[in-house]
Amino acid sequence: MKKLFFIAFTFMLGTLGLHAQTTPNQRWQMRLRGVVVMPTESANINTIGGDIDINTKLIPELDFTYFFTKNIAAELILGTTKHKVNTVGSDLTAIGGSSSNNVDLGSVWLLPPTLTAQYHFLPDGPIKPYVGAGINYTIFYSVNAGPTVKNVKYDNAFGFATQLGLDIKLSDKYFLNLDAKYILLKTDVNVDGSNLAPNLSIPAKVDINPFLLGFGVGMKF
């Protein structure tokens, strides 16, 4: 499925690229946005049961958009975010005999470059709505396992992204932007709890599925 998404999206961009060679009005846009990253998380944790909680974060984000025609464009977003993670209602208790079922699994950084193909409505108007869809590849790094378990490993993963947005013209060069994305993102997680019990390994399949809500300013060049 991951390869299918990648091949299909690459083919689509290649087709747009051929069309762009005959299009005189090629334009770049750059946006700087503040983005609220809101995971809608859930998990399947067979060994200890329960669910997972991932906190919401506000981050800065930079993106670049290339217009193949007045209506058709491709956008690449760049940003990174750190999230705290803990179990909810599991059978795993904290070191020291705590009876809490909410176990601190530390934190992890996510680097989720996302490429979307967009269709822009009313490209010559003062308010320019657009829709988009594309692919995301999330890299998990700088994992801090927290005080309870020995280690936590996250698998990097592909996801599918959808997008709605609005550009509001301020001048011929500058504009405001409102943008919302939803990313279907799943990862396999393995928790090493061998410091709690011999050979304790806790695999989990985690759906992160974040909403990304952004507001910022943009520049054409």
Instruction: Fill in the amino acid letter for 42.
Output: S
What's the confidence (pLDDT) of residue 49? Answer: 85
What burial letters (b/e) apply to 107-142, b meaning 16+ CB within 10 Å? Answer: bbebebebbbbbebeebeeeebebebebbbbbebee
CA 70 to chain centre: 27
Q: How far is CA 144 from CA 22, 87, 191, 194, in A?
A: 51, 15, 12, 16
What's the confidence (pLDDT) of residue 217? Answer: 98
Query: Taking 60 as the threshold, does the pLDDT of residue 9 lie above it?
Result: no
pLDDT tens for 63-95 read: 999 999 999 999 999 999 999 999 998 876 544
What's the confidence (pLDDT) of residue 93? Answer: 58
Closest CA to 134 of 76, 48, 207, 93: 76
Closest CA to 92 of 51, 64, 55, 54: 51
Mean pLDDT of all residues in 136-149: 95
Q: How many residues does the chain have?
A: 221
Per-residue pLDDT band for 25 (boundaries 50, 70, 90) equals: low
Mean pLDDT of all residues in 9-34: 62
More confident of the two residues 59 and 195: 59
What's the confidence (pLDDT) of residue 23? Answer: 44
What's the confidence (pLDDT) of residue 189? Answer: 96
* Cβ atoms of 67 and 73 closer than 8 Å: yes
How far apart are the C-alpha atoms of 157 and 187, rounded to whole Å? 6
Per-residue pLDDT band for 184 (boundaries 50, 70, 90) equals: very high
What's the confidence (pLDDT) of residue 90? Answer: 81
In the block, tokens 């990174």 appear at 80
Mean pLDDT of all residues in 120-141: 97
Query: Taking 70 as the threshold, does the pLDDT of residue 104 lie above it?
Result: yes
Mean pLDDT of the chain, nearest integer: 87
What's the confidence (pLDDT) of residue 96? Answer: 42
* Cβ atoms of 179 and 214 closer than 8 Å: yes
How far apart are the C-alpha atoms of 127 and 121, rounded to whole Å? 9
Query: Taking 90 as the threshold, does the pLDDT of residue 46 lie above it?
Result: no
Query: Taking 90 as the threshold, does the pLDDT of residue 22 lie above it?
Result: no
Per-residue pLDDT band for 10 (boundaries 50, 70, 90) equals: low
Strands 157-169 and 151-154, how do they pair?
Answer: unpaired
